[in-house]
Amino acid sequence: MPLTKERKEELVKEYGKNEKDTGMTEVQIALLTDRINQITGHLGTFKKDHHGRTGLLRLVGQRRSLLDFLADIDIERYRALIKKLNIRK
């Protein structure tokens, strides 16, 4: 189930500088985190959905590379974001 338009707008407003700031690293990470949480819940119900699991791993890798990028450019923004999104590491 993809993100709804309303949910995406909420996340962009919360993590971006304005409502059209979808390219900001924090916004991209928040959108990926929300999608990852949805897929994780789906996989709890449908344990044999291997294609869904593959997609989940791809999204996690994409989020990881964005987090690494953010940590390289501004460690304080990185720490604040992982605390706000409740991502471990």
pLDDT at 89 over 70: no
Reported as a single tens digit per residue, the pLDDT across 29-87 is: 999 999 999 999 999 999 999 999 999 999 999 999 999 999 999 999 999 999 999 99
**Closest by CA position to 26, among listed 9, 7, 84:** 84
Ordered by start, the domain boundaries in the chain are: 5-85
Predicted local distance difference test score (pLDDT) of residue 47: 94
- Residues whose CB falls within 8 Å of the CB of residue 82, separated by 6 or more in sequence, listed in order: 67, 88, 89
Kindly state the tokens that stand for 49.
Answer: 């959905």
Which residues lie closer than 8 Å to 85 by C-beta, 6 or more apart? 29, 30, 33
Contact 37, 29 (CB under 8 A): no
**Locus of tokens 């997609």:** 55
CATH annotation of 5-85: 1.10.287.10
Quick check: 19 pLDDT over 90?
A: no
Percentages helix, strand, coil for the chain, rounded to the nearest 5? 75, 0, 25
> Taking 70 as the threshold, does the pLDDT of residue 5 lie above it?
yes
Residue 1's pLDDT band, with cuts at 50, 70 and 90, is low
The reported pLDDT for the residue numbered 41 is 94
